[in-house]
């Protein structure tokens, strides 16, 4: 009971305090200046930048060249073509279409070309037609012809000239109606009126459309036949929007189809349509193909290869381009195992070659295989700093300046193998007769080549060792991550390299 009374009392005190505070604020308002807005700390993120490693020329022994399988190619200046491959379908060459129409009305009587895709030749009969208009005009012609001699002798003014006019008018009407020449010739020679006119094919080809049937009445302008000459066809190809700028009318084209394995049909780009398909982002290209033996059928699916000429260009084997991520490198072979890295710029690819824009010249020999291994060697030489291979022809001078004694290197580390983090490296230099070599400068370089595909730059750790006496040198260094490292120990004395050793070391996890 007492606890309940205490709780009630505390609640009353809190309520009273809150009420008093509210009353005070009501009668003592104050305009508080807005607190200066504290800008929230901005977190700026930047895209990771890949620092491209520096490359230096390298010198490889014949044994090393053979072990890594180095092959070379030549930079040449030659005429090249860029091959653009796509697909297409065979269609009618619209410039070789012929349509059969009449300029007069009448009834079709007999039909000779009675099937679609029937082959006809120019001059072959298609059908016969009876037209009252033609029959009446032929009758007028016959009357004018029979009376021409009689009226021509008339002395009445205008009668002789009128007979000639009627004959010429009847003849002209027949020609304007495009009556076959043989029908007009027969009418002129014999004066016989033909009840049915025979209409011939105006061209050779295949009938692709037919509207002529017996006993059908036709009006002027009715399309009775469409005849297509398929000795030449059009292929409609679909070229990607990104490739259309490299082709032009007249470029050579090769067409193949599964229907005729091993057969290649030659043609050329005839027209590039000024429209892009929004769904496929392709441009329609019209290709003219000769088809004398009718091997290409309408609607047939074909493979298209367009040879877009690029002119005379400086080219190199495409396998000689080493992509480091942000730049392109080619390794020039100067002979005797001496390779020089060169930054280049390339353009379009043409078959197995690629166009070179800058960095190389005709006649240069470049590495076409084992580029990655040579790149690693070059990065390692750059990481070593002062050490660099001699230029071509400097081998004799280097041998003259080398010390006469043979110096050996014994390397060890604590712990062994090294771990991620701090390590102690130890090197023992021994000369002839295992005598200790003193007064030397010794460096131990841990190097891991860049891996642009993984977004990782090259890593390098250099430890300078101090002489401890008795040919022993010791120092500490950091290993940044676990993995396989290329370790190079270089000992120099009086500004000359007296010994060098290279080995691969697999580091372990952090202790």
Whether the Cβ atoms of residue 72 and residue 368 lie closer than 8 Å to each other: yes
Which residues lie across from 481 on neighbouring strands? none
Residues contacting 349, CB < 8 A, separation 6+: 82, 318, 355
- 72 inside domain: yes
Residues 118 and 148 in one domain: yes
Please state, in angstroms and rounded to a whole number, the distance separating the CA atoms of residues 301 and 307: 20
- 37 inside domain: no
Residues 355 and 430 in one domain: no
- 338 inside domain: yes
Residue 305 is predicted with a pLDDT of 94
Whether the Cβ atoms of residue 341 and residue 329 lie closer than 8 Å to each other: yes
Residues 363 and 468 in one domain: no
Residues 121 and 67 in one domain: no
Residues 71 and 182 in one domain: no
Q: Residue 423: which domain range?
A: 402-507
Residue 263 is predicted with a pLDDT of 94
Residues 76 and 200 in one domain: no
Q: Check residue 390 and report its DSSP letter.
A: P
Residues 136 and 223 in one domain: yes
Residue 23 is predicted with a pLDDT of 43
pLDDT along the chain (511 residues), means of 10: 48 54 48 43 46 67 76 88 90 94 93 94 94 83 69 53 68 78 73 82 94 94 94 95 90 94 94 94 95 94 90 88 82 84 85 88 87 66 50 40 64 90 92 88 84 70 90 91 84 83 77 49
Residues 211 and 113 in one domain: yes
What is the per-residue burial (b if ≥16 Cβ within 10 Å, else e) of 154-174? eeeeeeeeebeebbeebbebb
Residue 148 is predicted with a pLDDT of 64
Closest CA to 443 of 414, 470, 476, 419: 476
In residues, how long is the chain? Answer: 511
Residues 100 and 216 in one domain: yes
* CATH number of the domain where residue 344 is located: 2.40.420.20
Domain count, the chain: 3
Residue 83 is predicted with a pLDDT of 84
Stated pTM of the model: 0.52
Residue 11 is predicted with a pLDDT of 53
Residue at which a domain ends, from 228, 263, 281: 228
Residue 107 is predicted with a pLDDT of 95
Structure tokens at 392: 């071509």
Residues 418 and 443 in one domain: yes
Which ranges constitute the DSSP H helices of 332-477?
371-383, 395-401
Residue 32 is predicted with a pLDDT of 40
Residue 286 is predicted with a pLDDT of 97
């Amino acid at each position: 009971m007492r606890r309940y009374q205490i709780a009630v009392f505390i609640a009353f005190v809190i309520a009273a305090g809150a009420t008093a505070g509210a009353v005070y604020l009501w009668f003592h308002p104050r305009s508080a200046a807005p607190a200066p807005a504290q800008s929230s700390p901005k977190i700026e993120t930047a895209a990771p930048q890949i620092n491209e490693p520096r490359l230096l020329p390298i010198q490889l022994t014949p044994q090393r060249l053979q072990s890594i399988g180095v092959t070379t190619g030549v930079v040449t200046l030659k005429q090249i073509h860029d091959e653009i491959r796509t697909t297409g379908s065979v269609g009618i060459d619209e410039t070789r279409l012929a349509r059969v129409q009449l300029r007069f009305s009448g009834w079709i009587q007999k039909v000779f070309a009675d099937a679609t895709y029937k082959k006809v030749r120019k001059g072959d009969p298609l059908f016969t037609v009876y037209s009252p208009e033609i029959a009446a005009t032929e009758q007028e012609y016959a009357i004018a012809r029979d009376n021409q001699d009689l009226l021509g002798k008339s002395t009445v003014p205008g009668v002789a000239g009128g007979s000639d006019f009627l004959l010429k008018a009847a003849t002209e009407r027949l020609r304007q109606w495009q009556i076959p020449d043989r029908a007009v010739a027969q009418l002129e020679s014999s004066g016989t009126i033909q009840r049915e006119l025979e209409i011939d094919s105006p061209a050779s080809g295949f009938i692709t459309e037919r509207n002529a049937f017996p006993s059908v009445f036709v009006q002027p302008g009715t399309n009775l036949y469409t005849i297509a000459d398929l000795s030449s066809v059009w292929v409609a190809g679909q070229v990607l929007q990104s490739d259309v700028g490299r082709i032009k009318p007249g470029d050579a084209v090769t067409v193949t189809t599964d229907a005729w394995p091993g057969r290649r049909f030659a043609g050329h780009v005839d027209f590039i349509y000024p429209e892009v398909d929004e769904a496929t982002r392709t441009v329609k290209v019209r290709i003219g193909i000769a088809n004398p033996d009718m091997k290409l059928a309408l609607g047939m699916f074909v493979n298209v290869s367009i040879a877009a000429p690029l002119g005379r260009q400086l080219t190199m084997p495409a396998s000689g381009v080493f992509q480091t991520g942000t730049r392109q490198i080619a390794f020039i072979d100067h002979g005797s195992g001496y390779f020089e890295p060169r930054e280049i710029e390339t353009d379009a690819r043409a078959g197995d070659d690629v166009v070179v824009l800058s960095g190389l010249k005709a006649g240069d020999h470049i590495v076409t295989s084992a580029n990655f291994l040579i790149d690693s060697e070059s990065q390692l030489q750059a990481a070593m700093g002062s050490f660099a291979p001699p230029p071509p022809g400097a081998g004799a001078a280097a041998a003259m300046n080398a010390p006469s004694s043979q110096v050996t290197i014994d390397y060890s580390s604590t712990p062994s193998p090294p771990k991620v983090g701090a390590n102690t490296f130890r090197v023992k230099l021994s000369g002839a007769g295992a005598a200790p070599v003193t007064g030397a400068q010794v460096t131990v370089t841990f190097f891991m080549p860049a891996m642009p595909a993984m977004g990782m730059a090259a890593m390098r750790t250099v430890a300078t060792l101090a002489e401890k006496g008795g040919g022993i040198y010791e120092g500490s260094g950091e290993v940044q991550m676990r993995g396989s490292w290329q370790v190079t120990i270089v000992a120099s004395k009086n500004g000359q390299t007296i010994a060098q050793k290279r080995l691969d070391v697999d580091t372990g996890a952090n202790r």
